[in-house]
Amino acid sequence: MRLTGLPAHRVIGSGTILDTARFRVLLGQHLRIDPRSIHAYVLGEHGDSEVLSWSSAQVGARDLTSYAQDSGVPITEAVRARIDDGVRRAAYRIIDGKGATYYGIGAGLARLVTAIGGDERSVHSVSVMTSDVEGIKDVPLSLPRILGKTGVIGDVAPEISADEHATLGASAKLLKDTLEAVRV
Summarize pLDDT for 40-57 with one digit per residue, the tens.
Answer: 999 999 988 999 999 999
Q: How many CA atoms lie within 13 A of 141 on its CB side?
A: 31
Let me know: does 51 contact 170? Beta carbons within 8 Å: no
pTM recorded for the entire structure: 0.92
Q: Which residues of the chain have pLDDT under 70?
A: 91-92, 94-95, 100
What pLDDT was estimated at residue 93? Answer: 72
Rounded distance between C-alpha atoms, residue 45 and residue 111, angstroms: 20
Identify the pLDDT of residue 91: 66
Q: Is 22 left (phi over 0), alpha (psi -120 to 50) or beta?
A: alpha
Verify whether residue 39 is a known catalytic residue: no
Q: Which of 9, 30, 39, 46 is catalytic?
A: 46
The confidence score (pLDDT) of residue 35 equals 97
Residues in CB range of 121: below 8 A, 6 or more apart: 146, 147, 148, 153
CA 4 to CA 53: how far, in whole Å?
33
The span from the CA of 115 to the CA of 146, in Å, is 9
